Chains A and B, each alone.
Chain A
Amino acid sequence: MTERTLTPILDVRNVCKSFGKVYALEDVSLKIFPSEIVGVVGENGAGKTTLMKSLVGIHVPEKGEWYDKGVKAAFPKDPKDAAKKGISIVYQERGVVPSLQVYQFLFLGNEEKYVGAFGLQIPRMKKAAQEIIDEFHIKCDIEDFMFELPLSTQKMVEIARAVVNIRLEQNKQDADSVIILDEPTAPLNIEERHELLNEIVRLKANCSFVFVTHIMQEVMEYMDRVIVLRDGRQVGEYDMATNKVTENELVRMILGKDIDGQEKIQRIPSRVDNSETVLSSKELSKRGSYYNISFDLSKGECLGVLGSAGSGKSELIETIAGINGYDEGDLLIRGKSTKNHELPYARLKKGVGYFSGEIANELFYDWPITKNISILNIEKIVTKIFHFLNFKTEKTLAADISKQLRIKTPNVNITVSSLSGGNKQKVTVGKWLEKKPDILLLEDPTIGIDVGAREDIYETILNMKEQGISMILVSDDPKEYSALCDRVLMMQQGKAQKIISKEELKEVLQT
């Protein structure tokens, strides 16, 4: 292909944007040519989101030039103006209206284009929608409700909607469009992820993409070009076709330093005490989710439960956490039978904690770090008499944790909503670090955070394991299993296949 000689669809140069005295973007330039996928990578807080928001008119940069086919033009004022210039964005989450049908959702906000003398011209809308669904090869019916579709298909409809938006705004069927995708794969599991990415590659014929992601594998396999941001500056640009860059080089560029984390993690010993079984599952079954699952968990061991979506791994870990019940079998904690439908607070009293990487389930956004850490450890901060809260102990506790985990914050009274993604995640790990349950259930512990913070969190988890805490891990990232687990239970369609050792896992992952 000879796109390089073509004029770029999007051409911005030397964009600067500051918030107060801090530069969020400094001299960042970006060109997007027709039919390409450009990855934008960087740590949390590197300026990716600010750049994207500047492109669609949510932020207006202080400096910078915008060229429209070589002619200098103004930056877009708002998302509608951006659509006129051929740029639209698909946000990471909350973009879908679940209660609408596909054709209704496609034209949401543009209904006035389909108004006739007798109100909305539904047949005309449906016809137009069908054409778009066919053009984008989306596997759904135009009358399906959005909530009925798999997440990856929902994303596809969102992408189609962004393109439709641009076309209607420009009133041109063949409008050049750039679609910005902000971490589109974050809520998806492995299969959905590959499906979506393959679809996007196919869509290159219709439009170009700017693709914000934390997942290096996606960059390596699917992007045409990648731009690396660090501290608001553009530190690298690689053409993936001509410039053979390795994953490690890319990570080094993102962090601005070598990752020593890997080695540090491997140096933490695993102290599994096989003589002491802390949790055992005996023929545990939940109809429609998993069947006859049996395993024993030893003290200080991390057992991974590996399987694709629908294998029942999430339901299994939620049963152990007390979020949902089981139908048959028995769950023993320290040799004692548990009641079915015991709630999380009851399981926590028996020493079973559940930690999910979904910070929305873990954090109180309006609360400072102190309260977020102490809510799980309330018994440690009450006074001996009358059980009042001791604010001094609470503060020391939070200060200790944030020092141990290197949480970047001026003080512990900062509300967690103002922290970066990686630091938020550290706060959630921090409260469990203080709690020290006997068994910690981990579900996607590092979802949505960047490489640097991820290594820190692995280190903390492994240190907790070394102190004798047993763990069960469920994740969508296969690398997480090799980093954390001693043994892995393979699941498929609700049934346990076999339990394999760490060494065997490496072979499985390589093939």
Chain B
Amino acid sequence: MSLSNNNEKMSIGRFISETVASPTRIPFVVVIAVILIFQLMNPTFLSYQGLVTLVYSMSYFLIAACGLTFVVMMGSFDFSSISVMKFSALLCVLYIDDFGLWIIPITLLCCAIIGFVSGFLVAKLGVPSFMATLGISIVVDGISLLMSKGFLHLMEHEGFRSISTTFIAGIPSVFHWSIAIWVLCAVLAATTPFGRRTYAIGGNARAAVLSGINLDSQRIQVFMLSGLLAGAAGVFYMSQLGGGSVEIGGQMMIPLFASVVAGGTSLRGGTGGPQNTLLGVIIITWIQSGLRMMGTGMETQMVILGLIAIGMSIATTDRNKFRRVIVK
């Protein structure tokens, strides 16, 4: 009896040590832990109503995170995602009366152009992506404020709202949209020359150049994709919530980065991918919603999310590689 018990302990011990050693397994384990912990603390977490809340909170976030993942894979940063998302949401609500549903392609185009500007600054003018996109985010925030004058605007166009809020198979359609976009992104990253080139630049930019990759054009394209997807996230956000002001999305940029990193896309570039980002998004947004469902205050949420962001980057960093660099 004691022997078998001992064996079991051994295998659990081995499971833990293997999990810690392989960063790819950690996100799965954390997702399960998050579900278990919140379910224990709050039995309505996995109820139908709870699930709908979780789905709403993660869907638009997943779309923006997929876009950001491409930039991070390439070894760059995009700090403008949330600002672009906000801008896109406000553009929709302010001009839907003038353009009807045509506002959607117009908005997406505008957001892709913002991405193009970031990419141009990074690729052609050599501005570090950190600075370029941070600058762009402030500019875009200013424009959003100018457009909305700080008021709360309500979306009254039923057709627009139904994009996200139609229930299909018991789940709001925004989930189906976001999963479809996620699959497209994963396919783009893993099975196309575009994806391969993005990984290449993140892995070894000089080798990428000597392998005949047009570095500038590829970088601009990736920033445009990030802008486009951030814009799409804004469209879905507005159609799901039905209103918003310049305040939306407040402190979301860091959780967005955290979800990309938590999935296993290293900020050093060249690894991970959108396929991993789904789990990261689930971890970050479900913790956030779980806390909110239990009525945890905003300040506590911020502390916990910040710690989770740091914890997940510790957990998903391949430290063997790091050590190798130091020792030799």
Residue numbers of A with Cβ under 8 A of B are 58, 91, 94, 321, 343-346, 348-349, 354, 356, 360-367, 371, 374-376, 378, 382, 387-389, 391, 431
Q: Does A364 lie within 8 Å of B212, measured CB to CB?
A: no
Tell me, rounded to whole Å, the shortest Cβ–Cβ distance linking B41 to chain A. 40
- What mask results when residues 218 to 241 of chain B are scored 1 for a CB within 8 Å of chain A, else 0? 000000000000000000000000
B170-178, B196-204, B243-251, B302-310: which lies at the A interface? Answer: B196-204
In the bound complex, CA of A391 to CA of B200 (Å): 17
* B residues near A346, Cβ cutoff 8 Å: 214
- List 12 interface pairs A-B (beta carbons < 8 Å), by A numbering: A343-B216, A344-B209, A344-B212, A345-B214, A348-B212, A361-B206, A363-B207, A364-B200, A364-B204, A364-B270, A365-B203, A374-B196
Query: Is there a chain A Cβ closer than 8 Å to B213's Cβ?
Result: yes
In the bound complex, CA of A366 to CA of B196 (Å): 13
Q: Does B200 lie within 8 Å of A389, measured CB to CB?
A: no
Given contacts A366-B271, A389-B191, contact A378 B207 (CB under 8 A): no
Contact of A389 among B196, B204, B209 (CB under 8 A): B196
Q: Does B210 lie within 8 Å of A364, measured CB to CB?
A: no
In the bound complex, CA of A141 to CA of B270 (Å): 42
Q: Does A58 lie within 8 Å of B327, measured CB to CB?
A: yes
Tell me, rounded to whole Å, the shortest Cβ–Cβ distance linking B205 to chain A. 10
In the bound complex, CA of A366 to CA of B271 (Å): 9
Which residue on B lies nearest to A94, using beta carbons? B328
- What mask results when residues 308 to 328 of chain B are scored 1 for a CB within 8 Å of chain A, else 0? 000000000000000000011
Tell me, rounded to whole Å, the shortest Cβ–Cβ distance linking B151 to chain A. 46
Q: Does A387 lie within 8 Å of B192, measured CB to CB?
A: yes
* B residues near A431, Cβ cutoff 8 Å: 211
* B residues near A387, Cβ cutoff 8 Å: 192-193
* A residues near B208, Cβ cutoff 8 Å: 375
Residue numbers of B with Cβ under 8 A of A are 191-193, 196-197, 200, 203-204, 206-216, 270-271, 327-328
Q: Is the interface of B mostly helix, strand, loop or mixed?
A: helix
Tell me, rounded to whole Å, the shortest Cβ–Cβ distance linking B65 to chain A. 23
In the bound complex, CA of A356 to CA of B212 (Å): 14
Q: Does A344 lie within 8 Å of B210, measured CB to CB?
A: yes
In the bound complex, CA of A58 to CA of B324 (Å): 12
Q: Does A382 lie within 8 Å of B327, measured CB to CB?
A: no
Tell me, rounded to whole Å, the shortest Cβ–Cβ distance linking A35 to chain B. 30
In the bound complex, CA of A391 to CA of B193 (Å): 12
Tell me, rounded to whole Å, the shortest Cβ–Cβ distance linking A420 to chain B. 15
Tell me, rounded to whole Å, the shortest Cβ–Cβ distance linking A361 to chain B. 5
Which residue on B lies nearest to A91, using beta carbons? B328
In the bound complex, CA of A268 to CA of B199 (Å): 39
Q: Does B270 lie within 8 Å of A389, measured CB to CB?
A: no
Given contacts A375-B196, A387-B193, A389-B193, contact A343 B209 (CB under 8 A): yes
Q: Does A364 lie within 8 Å of B203, measured CB to CB?
A: yes
Q: Does A354 lie within 8 Å of B210, measured CB to CB?
A: yes
**Contacts beyond the supplied A346-B214, A366-B271: 10 A-B pairs with Cβ under 8 Å:** A91-B328, A94-B328, A321-B210, A345-B209, A345-B213, A345-B215, A361-B207, A366-B203, A375-B208, A387-B192
* B residues near A356, Cβ cutoff 8 Å: 210
* B residues near A378, Cβ cutoff 8 Å: 193, 196-197
Which residue on B lies nearest to A354, using beta carbons? B210
Given contacts A363-B204, A366-B203, contact A375 B192 (CB under 8 A): no
* A residues near B203, Cβ cutoff 8 Å: 364-367
In the bound complex, CA of A367 to CA of B211 (Å): 14
Given contacts A378-B196, A382-B193, A389-B191, contact A362 B214 (CB under 8 A): no
In the bound complex, CA of A343 to CA of B213 (Å): 10
In the bound complex, CA of A371 to CA of B209 (Å): 15
Given contacts A343-B214, A366-B271, contact A388 B191 (CB under 8 A): yes
Q: Does B207 lie within 8 Å of A364, measured CB to CB?
A: yes
Tell me, rounded to whole Å, the shortest Cβ–Cβ distance linking A374 to chain B. 8
In the bound complex, CA of A387 to CA of B194 (Å): 10
In the bound complex, CA of A378 to CA of B192 (Å): 10
* B residues near A375, Cβ cutoff 8 Å: 196, 200, 208, 211, 213
Tell me, rounded to whole Å, the shortest Cβ–Cβ distance linking A445 to chain B. 14
Which residue on A lies nearest to B218, using beta carbons? A345
In the bound complex, CA of A199 to CA of B135 (Å): 53
* A residues near B193, Cβ cutoff 8 Å: 378, 382, 387, 389
* A residues near B209, Cβ cutoff 8 Å: 343-345
Tell me, rounded to whole Å, the shortest Cβ–Cβ distance linking B212 to chain A. 4
* A residues near B192, Cβ cutoff 8 Å: 387-389
In the bound complex, CA of A359 to CA of B172 (Å): 51
* A residues near B213, Cβ cutoff 8 Å: 345, 375
